Amino acid sequence: MGPIMKVTAQPADTTLTLVLDGELDASSAVVLDTELNKPELLKYKKVLIDCQRLSYISSAGLGVFISHLQRLQDSNVKLVFFNMQEKVFNVFEILGLDSLMTIVPTEQEALAA
């Protein structure tokens, strides 16, 4: 079992911020998947992912975002990542996800995106 990752949901009017804390690997991916699977997620215009405390992401973790990408797009929910550590950003970049997903440095930019 890897270290447990914590997902905290902070709902606002039109945006939902999910704060990730820990390592997102195969075992913790389930937690995030449950959160992203909630039907009420589609009510929001934007889902922001705060990655400040996300220290590692494995392919299973990426898989969670990838599997929800289409569904969110189809429902016009924008997925925006912010505060991403360089190491984690590299993983997104190598896989080419930076061309598909919106990844911005700060929360302000994420709200404006």
Partner 1 sequence: MLRVEGPTRFVFAFLSMPKIRHVAWLLALATGCWLVLLLGTLSQGRSVLGLPPDWPRWLLLLAQGGFAASIFLYARLQPDALSGHGFLPLLRRLFWRGLVLTALLAGTQAFVKLTAEHTLPLPGDATAAAGYTVSLALFIILLAQTLYVWRSLVNFRGSDRLQREWTAFELILGAALLFQLFVWHVPDYLLVAVVVGLGLFGVYLSGHQRWVAYLSQGQKLQAIMLQLGVLGCLSAFLYVLRGAQSDPALLAPPTQQAFLVLTSSFAVFYAVAGLLVTLFNLPVADVYEQRRAEILSLQQLSQIIQRGQTAPEIYQALFTSAVQTIRADAAWLDAQLQPTEQLGPLPASLIHELIPSDLSALREQLTDLLAPQQRELIDNDLLRSQRLTGLSQPYGSAAVLQLRSSTHDYGLLVLLKKEQSGFDPEDLSILHTFTTQTVLSLENLQLAQEARASQRAQDELRIAALVQERLIPKHLPTDNWFEISTYAQAAKEVGGDFYDFLHLPGQRLAVLIGDVSGKGVTAAFHTAQMKGIFHALMQPNPLAKKDRERYPDPHRFMVLANEALTHCLERSSFITASFYLIDYEAGGFSFARAGHCHTLYYHSIKEEVSYFRSEGLGLGILRDASYGRHVKNQFWDYNPGDVMVIYTDGIPEARNANGDEYGEDRLAKMLGESFYQSAEEINRHIRLDVQEFSKGLPLHDDQTLLVIKFKSAQPQG
Task: Round to whole Å and give the CA distance between 107 and 40.
Answer: 22
* Closest CB 99 distance from partner 1, rounded Å: 6
| Contact mark string toward partner 1, 71..100, x via CB under 8 A | ----------------x------xxxx-xx
Q: What angle do CA 94, 96, 17 make, to 5 degrees?
A: 100
For 35-89, where are the E strands, in sequence order? 46-57, 78-82
Return the number of the residue (90 or 106) whose C-beta is nearest partner 1.
Answer: 90
Under the binding rule (CB under 8 A), the answer on residue 30 touching partner 1 is no
What is the size of the binding site for partner 1 (CB under 8 A)?
18
Binding residues vs partner 1 (CB under 8 A)? 26, 33, 59-60, 62-64, 66-67, 69-70, 87, 94-97, 99-100
